[in-house]
Amino acid sequence: MADFKYIIVGSGIAGLYAALLASEQGSVLLLTKGGLQDCNTRYAQGGIAAAIGAGDSPALHLEDTLGAGAGLCDVEAARILTDNAPRAIADLVRLGVIFDTDHGEVALGREGAHRLARVLHAGGDATGAHIETVLARLVQARPIRIDEYSAAVGLVVDARSGKVTAVDAVQVRNGQTKRRYTGEAIVLATGGAGRLFRHTTNPEVATGDGVALAFNAGAAVADMEFCQFHPTALRFPGAPAFLISEAVRGEGAVLLTGDGDAFMARYHPMKDLAPRDIVSRAIVTEMQRAATDHVLLDMTHLPEQWLITRFPTIYHTCLQNGVDITREPVPVAPAAHYMMGGVLTNSWGETNLPGLFACGEVACNGLHGANRLASNSLLEALVFARRVVERAGSGIWEGIRFDDPLILDQPGLLNADAPTLTAENLVQTMWNKVGIVRDGVGLEEAVAIFNSWAGSLPASEDLTVQSLANQVLVGRLMAHAAQARTESRGAHFRLDFPAPRPEWVRRIVMVAHPPGNPFPSES
């Protein structure tokens, strides 16, 4: 008999919400490698999208989601998301999340690539933190076992059935011997991999561990070439790459060059509210033109007291770094933000390994396609965490099947001049060669460097070494996929293939083992 009915790895909104729902069905173990609230959810400023406003509808929300995804969205998954958005909001309210209001009505903001204002927020620009706090408090009040600072280091797969039956974990703080926990359903909710890049809005825990765990166990991953770079992160000497929410531009803030030119009109009809990939590349172009490391985001024309109240976190953080957003423009530049790719799942969160589910940013159900629509991420975590628990509780398993996977086996092309493997060299390589703008030469160099690093890693039980190995694996997956996709689409832009190509209206699925035996590959 298993130790737990559910083992949930990760404590962001997806993990916490799944744990709450799962606790109504049986025993739950929640593993998290940091503290309970060390996750990307806390840093989600803009809010959560849902078609609840006058004149809006799930159908319009769906159209905007598909438009941002640049032809690669899974339409079923996107429709499930947008149809279930109002229910997800109602459930958050039921659980105790208080969204901001305006004259007695829920306040709705507008963000990039949304045709209407449909983004709910809480605490001005602290939406993620508010949701995380409420869910964490509820989880702590339920009969859920919570193991903080417990790093999952391996998934156990039954050799005969191919079912994932257990998780191996190690206490981070005291380095205790590895411990194995068995579970009927293993749910990965470990978040993304933004810390693989030199400039990022992500917390330190976002190193792609869930993708590495799943891939090493035999799970398929998909869309690893698609990483979204947020256009506006604070770029100030000595300051972290703090996110300046897209909601600021939704309220009227304008991007400017150093000499005051509002440049976005030259790049897209939606100007400052164009899709994130377009805004990020426009900023890079303007920075290169002016030989500078930032552009300016100007909101000084907005009412001072309203601005402070609407964006209190941004106001105080910028002020601590010497910038008063009510009186001067903010220096900003793009930073790695969200991973569209991840562990391949269907719309129920099932992987190709029986017993293994994934939801939230670590999962890739095809919802986001090549580019995530702003403020769909918190919503995705809620909608698909619920579906994971519903499916796991039903006893039904369908799993996923796929054709023609890209096999990532032993390192091929190597780079004899690869820099020494360090955390700093890794993030710099990703930023320089697998970043916002890519090309074939740089990607080939990146693939060779990551292959060289993968071949040089020692086998070790040390958590630091294992974490670095996970990052090398995820970086290698991203570089290989980006090299394979010889076109530009959504967040993936190549100078040598600057246009989308019809033959690439398909997804890149990667596995560590030849198809079949024991992992299915047929459709």
Domain termination residue (choose one: 309, 335, 361): 335
Domain termination residue (choose one: 305, 335, 365): 335
Q: Are 325 and 416 contained in the same domain?
A: no
Residue 490 lies in a domain: yes
Residue 269 lies in a domain: yes
How far apart CA 31 and CA 38 sit, in angstroms, is 12
CATH number of residue 275's parent domain: 3.90.700.10
Q: Average pLDDT per run of 10 along the chain, which is 523 residues long?
A: 96 96 98 79 73 96 96 98 98 96 90 91 87 95 95 95 96 82 98 95 92 96 96 88 89 96 96 91 96 97 95 93 96 96 98 98 97 94 98 95 80 77 96 97 95 87 90 96 97 97 96 51 28
The SS3 assignment for 189 reads coil
CATH number of residue 455's parent domain: 1.20.58.100
And the tokens for 165?
């039956």
Q: Give the residue ranges of DSSP H helices in 345-435.
A: 377-394, 423-433
Q: Are 322 and 410 contained in the same domain?
A: no
DSSP notation for 210-275: HHHHHHHHT--EE-TT-EEEEEEEE--TT----B--HHHHHTT-EEE-TT---GGGGT-TTGGGS-
Q: Are 321 and 413 contained in the same domain?
A: no
Phi, psi of 510 (to 5 degrees): -125, 140
The SS3 assignment for 397 reads coil
Residue ranges making up the domain that contains 416: 403-511
pLDDT tens digits for 404-442?
Answer: 888 886 666 677 688 999 999 999 999 999 999 999 999
What's the domain count of the chain? 2
How far apart CA 365 and CA 342 sit, in angstroms, is 9
Residue 189 lies in a domain: no
* Nearby residues of 102 by Cβ (< 8 Å), 6 or more positions away: none
Q: Are 331 and 407 contained in the same domain?
A: no
Q: Which of 509, 513, 522 is nearest to 222 (CA)?
A: 509
* Nearby residues of 261 by Cβ (< 8 Å), 6 or more positions away: none
pLDDT tens digits for 295-331?
Answer: 999 999 999 999 999 999 999 999 999 999 999 999 9
How far apart CA 99 and CA 118 sit, in angstroms, is 13
394 class by beta-carbon count within 10 Å (0-12 exposed, 13-18 middle, 19+ buried):
exposed
From 235, 276, 391, 476, active-site residue: 276
Residue 438 lies in a domain: yes
And the tokens for 9?
């790895």
What pLDDT, on a 0 to 100 scale, did the predictor assign at position 175? 67
What's the predicted TM-score (pTM) here?
0.93
Residue 266 lies in a domain: yes
386 given a catalytic annotation: no
Domain termination residue (choose one: 335, 359, 388): 335
Percent residues over pLDDT 90 in the chain? 81
Phi, psi of 200 (to 5 degrees): -150, 150
β-pair partners for 31 = 9, 147
Residue 148 lies in a domain: no
Residue 57 lies in a domain: no
Residue 8 lies in a domain: no
DSSP notation for 144-174: -EEETTEEEEEEEE-TTT--EEEEEEEETTT
8-state DSSP, 406 = E
Label the pairing between strands 363-364 and 221-222.
unpaired
Q: Are 413 and 498 contained in the same domain?
A: yes
How far apart CA 61 and CA 358 sit, in angstroms, is 24
